[in-house]
Structure 1
């Protein structure tokens, strides 16, 4: 009998989605000069701050996934 696959918690998925959006926005602003962020919210190096915040928000889901994968590899 196969065990059910563990499903990621919804809050982790939401954090990951927000992180992907922030990372994408930061990359677009840095490399593409998209101009999606209003001038009133811009500050020096805001694009790098967006990328860093996005990467940090994606870390919990990545660590959850790695814990599950390494746990299965050890069994």
Structure 2
């Protein structure tokens, strides 16, 4: 089951400044304050995370979102 989660505006603004991985999407790494990392996460149009699993994300706990090469 694919889930799409809308990102808060502060992350959208940051991702809009980064290059796309492909047309209309970016592959990112999401780093959390507790040290957890979600790798190879697809973001569509800099504003929606695409997840293959139903994962709850607490956006207040994200320390950084960066491109995942």
- TM-score over 0.5 (shorter chain): no
Question: Which is richer in strand?
Answer: 2
- Structure 2 length-normalised TM: 0.27
- Structure 1 length-normalised TM: 0.25
Question: Which is richer in helix?
Answer: 1
Structure ID, larger Rg? 1
